[in-house]
Every structure is written in structure tokens, then in C-alpha cells.
Amino acid sequence: MTKYLAIALSALAAVLFGCWLMHDRDRLADELSTSRAEVMQLQADVEFAIQTLAARDALDRKYVRDIADAKNENDSLRAAVNAGASRLLVRATCPKLPNTAGTSGLDDGASAELTADARQDYFDLRAQIITTEKQLAGLQEYVGQVCQVRK
């Protein structure tokens, strides 16, 4: 009888161990499935990040080139004005002087021009405005094309 009891207990232990192994296998299979889903999500996130960075880099190259072109254009215009090959249009008016008895009139002087310092300031401001406009356009395009893609 003790022999049958030992066999029965051994069989019960084997069945319980088998049930525990099946439960552990199911738990590990669930963890594996969850891990695979997380890996797939991470791979999708990496792919999205790569595409986003590529789009950002393309926009950056485009607007850096535009800013460099605008700076070169501004520098060549500055050089042309300084060399006298081009002129800046200055819209200026001179106030009317009261007609006094002692003066019979004045000859027209030279056309109104900016001083050298004012001309330098004009080109500096022009360059800053162009840079700001290009940077703003680049940021707007970045927000519209890259940031708005994934919501």
C-alpha cells in the first residue's frame, strides 16, 4: 500500500509540476508577445525619428542655402553701392526755407544720400531682416511638415 501511495504522490507531484510548467510557459509566452509588441513600437518610433530628422535636415539645408544666397546678394549690393556702381534710393524731402529778403535763392544741391554709417546700418538691418524672414519661414515649414505629421 505504501508503494501505491508513493506512486500516487509521485504522479500527483508530476502532474502539479507539469501544470506549473504549463502556467510558466503561458506566462513567458505572454511576456514574449508583449516584448515583441514593444520592440515593434520602438522600431516604428525609430523609423519615424529617422524620417523626421531627414525632413528636418532637408529643410535646414534649404534655408541655410537661402540665407547664404541672400547674404551674398546683400554683400554684392553693398559692394556695388560702395563702389558707386549702384545707388540707394533715398526718398527724402527738404523742408521749405522761408524766403527772406537777403537770399535770392539756393542752387539745388546734390541728391540726398545716406552717410557711410547710415549706409552700413542699412545693409546690416537688411541682412538681419532677410535672415529673420528665412529662419521664420523655415520654422513655419518645419512645424507644418515635420511637427504636424504625428499627432
100-109 pLDDT, tens digit each: 555 555 555 5
Cell 534655408 belongs to: 63
% of the chain exceeding 70 in pLDDT: 84
pLDDT at 96 over 90: no
17-76 confidence digits (pLDDT tens)? 899 999 999 999 999 999 999 999 999 999 999 998 998 999 999 999 999 999 999 999
Mean pLDDT (whole number) for 84-88: 85
The Cα 22–Cα 71 span in angstroms is 72
pTM: 0.59
% of the chain exceeding 90 in pLDDT: 46
The Cα 122–Cα 115 span in angstroms is 10
Mean pLDDT (whole number) for 97-101: 58
CA distances to 16, 92, 94, 95, 111 from 105, rounded to whole Å, are 121, 20, 14, 14, 17
Cell of 84: 558707386
What pLDDT is stored for residue 69 in this prediction?
94
Cell of 123: 545693409
The Cα 112–Cα 90 span in angstroms is 7
Over the chain, what is the mean pLDDT? Answer: 85
Buried b (16+ CB within 10 A) or exposed e, 50-64: eebeeeeeebeeebe
